[in-house]
C-alpha cells in the first residue's frame, strides 16, 4: 500500500504526552485533510497551532460504551492509537490492563471500517527484558543507588504484548506497531522526580552507545505520523521494519532505532 495523501486520520489518546505531539504533527501535515480526536478528554483548541484546527473533529467518548462513540462515522483511512496508562495512575493492575489493553483493542475494533485498505498505527512500548539488556551497566548502577526492581514493568510489557497480538487479529489491512524505548521530554509527577532524576542521566549516557536507549516524544510523534503516511509497503529501509506475528495476525514492527531514523526520512 502506497503512502497516503489527502486522507483522514483518527487519533485515540491525544491528551497523553505522546498523543499531544502526534496530534500537532497530524494537524500540520498536508497529507491528512481531516483529523479526528476522540477520547474521554479533549484538547483545548487554543493550545493547538494557529490555523490548524479547521480539519479537526473532536468528540468526547465513553470507552465503556463504544457502541455510542461514533467511531465508524467517518471511515478513517488511518487509525492512530497512543492510548495507555500506568498502574499507578489506573489504581490497580486490573484497572491498568482494562485501560491499556481492553480500551485499546475494543476502540480499534469499533473504528475498523469495511474499507479494504484501512491502516492502524499503534504506539506500544519496548519489552522490559530487551531494555534491561541494552542498559546493562546503567541498571546495575541504579541498583547500587537503592532503586529497587519494579515488577510492574513486567506487567506493563505483558499487557503491551497481548495488546499487539489482539490488534493484529482484528483484520486491518496494514498494522504498524512502534516499540519506543525510554521516552525523553515528558513531564513527570512530583513523586517520580527522584527516580527520573536518577534514570534520565543513565538513559542519556546509554544513548551515546546505543540508539535503543531513548527517544524524544517529539521525534517519536514525527515517526508515527510518517508511518501512517507511508504504510508498511512504502517504509524506507532506514525504518528497519520487520514483520512479526503469526499468519493472519501479523504486523509491522518498528523498534527505537527505526523510529529515530524514520523521523528524519518522513520530513
DSSP class of residue 69? S
Indicate the pairing of strand 119-123 with strand 242-246: unpaired
pLDDT higher than threshold 60 for residue 72: yes
Separation between Cα atoms, residue 84 and residue 231, nearest integer Å: 23
DSSP class of residue 234? G
- CB-CB neighbours of 133 under 10 Å: 11
Place of cell 465513553: 62
Separation between Cα atoms, residue 3 and residue 168, nearest integer Å: 20
Q: What residues contact residue 246 under an 8 Å CB cut-off, 6+ apart?
A: none
- CB-CB neighbours of 24 under 10 Å: 20
Using an 8 Å Cβ cutoff, are 128 and 87 in contact?
A: no
Using an 8 Å Cβ cutoff, are 257 and 128 in contact?
A: no
pLDDT higher than threshold 50 for residue 137: no
DSSP class of residue 119? E
pLDDT for position 166: 96
pLDDT for position 73: 87
pLDDT for position 236: 97
Cell numbers for 113, please give them: 471500517
The whole-angstrom distance between residue 95's C-alpha and the CA centroid of its chain comes to 19
pLDDT for position 214: 87
Closest CA to 219 of 1, 9, 18: 18
Report, as an integer, the average pLDDT of 177-191. Answer: 79
**246 vs 165, higher pLDDT:** 165
Cell numbers for 205, please give them: 549516557
- CB-CB neighbours of 187 under 10 Å: 7
Q: Out of 21-30, 68-77, 216-225, pick the least confident.
A: 68-77
Supply the mean pLDDT for the chain.
84
Q: How confident is the model at residue 143 (pLDDT cuts 50, 70, 90)?
A: very low
Cell numbers for 230, please give them: 507511508
- CB-CB neighbours of 192 under 10 Å: 14
Query: What is the reported pTM?
Result: 0.84
Amino acid at each position: 500500500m502506497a503512502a497516503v495523501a489527502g486522507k483522514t486520520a483518527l487519533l485515540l489518546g491525544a491528551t497523553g504526552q505522546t498523543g499531544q505531539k502526534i496530534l500537532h504533527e497530524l494537524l500540520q501535515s498536508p497529507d491528512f485533510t481531516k483529523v479526528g480526536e476522540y477520547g474521554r478528554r479533549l484538547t483545548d483548541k487554543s493550545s493547538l497551532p494557529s490555523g490548524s484546527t479547521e480539519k479537526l473533529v473532536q468528540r468526547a467518548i465513553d470507552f465503556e460504551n463504544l457502541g455510542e462513540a461514533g467511531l465508524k462515522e467517518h471511515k478513517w483511512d488511518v487509525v492512530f492509537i497512543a492510548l495507555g496508562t500506568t498502574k499507578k495512575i489506573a489504581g490497580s493492575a486490573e484497572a491498568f490492563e482494562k485501560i491499556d489493553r481492553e480500551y485499546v483493542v475494543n476502540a480499534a475494533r469499533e473504528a475498523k471500517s469495511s474499507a479494504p485498505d484501512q491502516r492502524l498505527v499503534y504506539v506500544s512500548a519496548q519489552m522490559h527484558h530487551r531494555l534491561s539488556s541494552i542498559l546493562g551497566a546503567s541498571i546495575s548502577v541504579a541498583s547500587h543507588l537503592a532503586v529497587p526492581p519494579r515488577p510492574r514493568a513486567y506487567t506493563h510489557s505483558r499487557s503491551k504484548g497481548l495488546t499487539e497480538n489482539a490488534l493484529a487479529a482484528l483484520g486491518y489491512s496494514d498494522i504498524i506497531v512502534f516499540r519506543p524505548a525510554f521516552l525523553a521530554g515528558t513531564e513527570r509527577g512530583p513523586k517520580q522526580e527522584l527516580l527520573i532524576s536518577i534514570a534520565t542521566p543513565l538513559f542519556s549516557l546509554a544513548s551515546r552507545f546505543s540508539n535503543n536507549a531513548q527517544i524524544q516524544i517529539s521525534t517519536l510523534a514525527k515517526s508515527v505520523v510518517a508511518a501512517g503516511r507511508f504504510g508498511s509497503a512504502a517504509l524506507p529501509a532506514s525504518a528497519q521494519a520487520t514483520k512479526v506475528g503469526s499468519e493472519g495476525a501479523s504486523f509491522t514492527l518498528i523498534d527505537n532505532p527505526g523510529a529515530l531514523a524514520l523521523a528524519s526520512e518522513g520530513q
